[in-house]
């Protein structure tokens, strides 16, 4: 937490280190809740409406009544951005089931709890991010939709965290999760793309992944750049044949990958990632300065 981090809670904005929620909040006790991660640049949230829509879909999927209207959420976001000392940063919007007595039943919680943190976020702990990171294909599998649909952005990240622990222990920067059928899904907090034979390829939503908003933006940008895009099932072996590889996410933004397990990702062609990254930055600037 940075000392200037803020938190919107119960209609007030306070220093984040002073904000607290009850030990009886079911978000804490049972991971019963949802969240969105948003980024703002030049005081404007990138893709705000897409995030609000996904928030609503996550809430509906777990039968959670959001305690504020969408307009009230937009206002709260605006207020916290205005008070934040920098014009760009990261927002974490969390909605928990709220306070209830012990016991898993959501009916014990009459009122959901909503708070928003404004802070900085670096999802990968390396200073050499531009040179590419090292990705470990984790043995922990992504939860299948039959157990917990990965499209729900819920407070249950333990299987992602277990994957990340594997990566940490192996001295790698981030983990990649396969589904229970052995196909590539996504990173622990990001989606994955490869470039192979001048085509931009990413796992199919049917393989069980969070439908990243940045993923969507990248697919659109690729089409504008005239690249062929494909959403397909990929084995780890297929992934290793990539000419280039990168991760996308609101927190991650765009992160090039230079190594998967012990395999170096290299290409003899002119790399396409720099053009995609440049177009992404320009898209963010155009969006947030209008």
Ligand X SMILES: Cc1ncc(COP(=O)(O)O)c(C=O)c1O
Give the footprint of ligand X on this chain (CB under 6 A): 37, 160, 186, 189-191, 210, 212-215, 248-251
- 100 vs 160 by CB, closer to ligand X: 160
The distance of closest approach from Cβ of residue 200 to ligand X in the complex, given in angstroms and rounded to an integer, is 16
Q: Estimate the crossing angle of helix 213-224 against helix 273-288, to 10 degrees.
A: 110
Given a contact cutoff of 8 angstroms between Cβ atoms, the answer to whether 40 and 82 are in contact is no
Closest CA relative to residue 36, chosen from 15, 46, 57, 51: 51
- 96 vs 248 by CB, closer to ligand X: 248
- Beta-carbon contacts of 188 under 8 Å, excluding residues fewer than 6 positions away, are 157, 160, 161, 163, 164, 167, 174, 175, 177
- 166 vs 186 by CB, closer to ligand X: 186
- 97 vs 142 by CB, closer to ligand X: 142
Residue 258 CA to residue 268 CA, distance in Å, equals: 14
The distance of closest approach from Cβ of residue 49 to ligand X in the complex, given in angstroms and rounded to an integer, is 13
The distance of closest approach from Cβ of residue 175 to ligand X in the complex, given in angstroms and rounded to an integer, is 11
Residue 191 CA to residue 206 CA, distance in Å, equals: 14
The distance of closest approach from Cβ of residue 22 to ligand X in the complex, given in angstroms and rounded to an integer, is 25
The distance of closest approach from Cβ of residue 246 to ligand X in the complex, given in angstroms and rounded to an integer, is 13
- 99 vs 177 by CB, closer to ligand X: 177
Closest CA relative to residue 15, chosen from 28, 27, 25, 1: 1
């Amino acid at each position: 937490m940075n000392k200037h981090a803020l938190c919107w809670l119960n209609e007030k904005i306070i220093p984040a280190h002073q904000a607290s929620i009850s030990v009886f909040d079911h978000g804490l006790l049972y991971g019963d809740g949802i969240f969105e991660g948003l980024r703002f640049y030049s005081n404007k949230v990138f893709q705000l409406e897409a995030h609000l829509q996904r928030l609503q879909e996550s809430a509906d999927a777990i039968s959670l009544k959001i305690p504020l209207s969408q307009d009230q959420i937009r206002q709260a976001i605006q207020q916290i951005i205005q008070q934040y000392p920098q014009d760009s940063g990261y927002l974490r919007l969390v909605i928990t089931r709220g306070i209830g007595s012990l016991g898993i039943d959501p009916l014990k919680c009459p009122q959901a709890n909503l708070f928003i943190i404004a802070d900085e976020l670096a999802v990968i702990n390396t200073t050499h991010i531009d040179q590419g990171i090292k990705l470990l294909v984790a043995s922990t599998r992504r939860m299948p939709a039959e157990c917990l649909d990965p499209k729900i952005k819920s407070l249950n990240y333990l299987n992602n965290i277990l994957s990340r622990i594997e990566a940490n222990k192996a001295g790698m920067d981030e983990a990649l999760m396969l589904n229970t059928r052995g196909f590539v899904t996504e990173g622990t907090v990001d989606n994955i793309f490869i470039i192979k034979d001048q085509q931009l390829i990413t796992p199919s939503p049917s393989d069980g992944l969070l439908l990243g908003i940045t993923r969507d933006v990248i697919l659109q940008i690729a089409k504008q750049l005239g690249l062929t895009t494909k959403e397909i099932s990929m084995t780890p072996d297929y992934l290793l044949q990539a000419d280039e590889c990168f991760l996308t996410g609101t927190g991650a933004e765009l992160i090039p990958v230079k190594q998967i397990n012990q395999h170096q990702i290299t290409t003899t062609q002119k790399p396409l990632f720099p053009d995609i990254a440049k177009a992404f930055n320009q898209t963010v600037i155009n969006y947030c300065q209008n």
